Amino acid sequence: MENITHNTENRILEAARDVFHRKGFNGARMQEIANLANINKSLLHYYFRNKELLFEKVFNDTFSQLASKMGGIFMSEMTLISKIETFVELYLIFISEHSYVMQFIINALQDRPERLRDIITNQNINPELLLEKIHKQLKNEMGIDMDPLQLYVNLLALVIFPVVAKPLLQSIFSLSDERMAVFYEERKKIVPVFIENALKGYEKDKKLG
Amino acid sequence: MENITHNTENRILEAARDVFHRKGFNGARMQEIANLANINKSLLHYYFRNKELLFEKVFNDTFSQLASKMGGIFMSEMTLISKIETFVELYLIFISEHSYVMQFIINALQDRPERLRDIITNQNINPELLLEKIHKQLKNEMGIDMDPLQLYVNLLALVIFPVVAKPLLQSIFSLSDERMAVFYEERKKIVPVFIENALKGYEKDKKLG
DNA sequence: AAATGGTTTAACCAAACGGTCAAATGTACT
DNA sequence: AGTACATTTGACCGTTTGGTTAAACCATTT
């Protein structure tokens, strides 16, 4: 008897996602995944052959989910400023709730960069189109001729880094969990303003130059 | 006969640093470290007891080296703007050359945040003092009353993230190594301007508000 | 109820791993 | 040369780990 697209398989995937996200490929144990899913270890191999393939499945699922969230906002029809504000708001919430996800992706790609090659084309996301759209909006809405990649990376950096580096920042500056929560909450306001100001300054420079 | 502070011990530490930086604690193999150092595996245990202690030594050394580089600039006597420019310039070079280091630190702290507790006090770096200094300079030199932590984290984010996320960015946007090198080179100019503009805008808001 | 085929389990395996140990080698001092 | 001590080595050990296998279980079909 099968529940929604096979119950056992899903239980395994959920457990695997949890363990892989927290401990990475090398830190994860097949036995731990089996325990978490409340099944016999052999079932992992029955459904996914081996650790590498199970990891690959988790990685692909995770990345796709993340990518669609990332691309979606910027492919919509809003002003660039609104997109930035929405992006910061939504992303900061999402990443705080899934603080492991981003680092999981980065580490997996550090180990083997070719992991992405295959799935990016399969995805309905078009990074070049995204940059093109940002480029046009920068020009049309703000009169700025700037490399859109630089802007987009700045945006990602300001949102993602503070979450990924949380333990580092918290240790160095002796910040309590409460102080840290306030810090993130503040960023929802600060980051968009920071970027908008930077762009306005750039715009002024351009007009002067 | 002993060279500069014991030759064998240093060879081990260099090899261990290399392997741990690239593969992390779980991915590293004692045998691989021994091979790289051209010594018998037992010597690792003779000098450092076990894997955990060897890792700890590498982590502490790496962090101290990094921290002194980080703190140094901002404790010096320059204008805030100059500090930011110097920081971006120096850090972007350093991190590009040691792209694994930052992620190594972040991952090690993700696994066990308490690693830093001990060594931060031993270091002659004072994070609170650093923030205080930035805070004063923001006020005195630019008339801005801003949380210095937010500014400092923004700076770190803009410099560190693009390097840590290199494989991610390179895959997503199909960037060649050459394009990537140009991208980083561009950032040496773009990031300081980006931050300065953002601050100027903030300054203006303050005066209006 | 017997047969069929997918699912689950326990027992097991070989390789890899961190770590130990006793012997060997080198070095400095008497 | 001989002793004492630190250094280095190879052989070995117990455990953990990813993976296999054969048997048991279970639902559906005939």
For B38-60, the pLDDT digits (tens) are: 999 999 999 999 999 999 999 99
Query: How many Å lie between the alpha carbon of A203 and the closest alpha carbon of chain B?
Result: 10
User: Residue A202: its pLDDT value, please?
Assistant: 77
Q: Which CATH number fits domain A58-208: 1.10.3470, 2.40.30, 1.10.357, 1.20.1630?
A: 1.10.357
Interface residue B127 vs chain A (CB under 8 A): yes
Residue at shortest CA–C1' distance from D28: A1
* Least confident stretch, A42-46, A116-120, A145-149, B162-166: A116-120
pLDDT of the residue at A107: 97
CB–CB of A113 and B173 under 8 A? Answer: no
| Delimiting residues of CATH 1.10.10.60 domain(s) in chain A | 1-49
What is the C-alpha to C-alpha distance for residues B162 and B141, in angstroms, rounded to an integer? 29
**Which CATH code fits B1-49?**
1.10.10.60
Instruction: Identify the pLDDT of residue A15.
Output: 98
CA A183 to chain centre: 20
Residues of chain A with CATH 1.10.357: 58-208
Token pair of A133 as six digits: 């759209």
Q: Is the Cβ–Cβ distance between A152 and B187 less than 8 Å?
A: no
Q: Tell me the percentage of chain A whose pLDDT exceeds 90.
A: 76
Gap from B67 CA to chain A (nearest CA, Å): 10
Q: Residue A109's closest CA among A44, A151, A62?
A: A62
Residues of chain B above pLDDT 70, percent:
92
Distance, in Å, from the CA atom of A209 to the CA atom of A207, rounded to the nearest integer, reads: 6
Residue matched to tokens 């930086």: B21
Q: Residue B119 pLDDT more than 90?
A: no
Q: What is the CA radius of gyration of chain B?
A: 20
Map residue A39 onto helix, strand or coil: coil
| Four-way CATH pick for B62-208: 1.10.10, 1.20.140, 1.10.357, 1.10.510 | 1.10.357
Q: What is the pLDDT of residue A2?
A: 43
Q: How far is residue A194's CA from residue A130's CA, in Å, rounded to a whole number?
A: 22
- The amino acid at residue B199 is L
Domain with CATH 1.10.357 in chain B: 62-208
Chain D nucleotides reached by a protein CB under 7 Å:
7-11, 16-22, 27-28
Span B149-174, pLDDT tens digits: 999 999 999 999 999 999 999 999 99
Query: For the residues B6-10, what does the mean pLDDT come to?
Result: 91
Task: List B residues 1-20 in contact with A (Cβ-Cβ < 8 A).
Answer: none
B121, two tokens: 């006090």
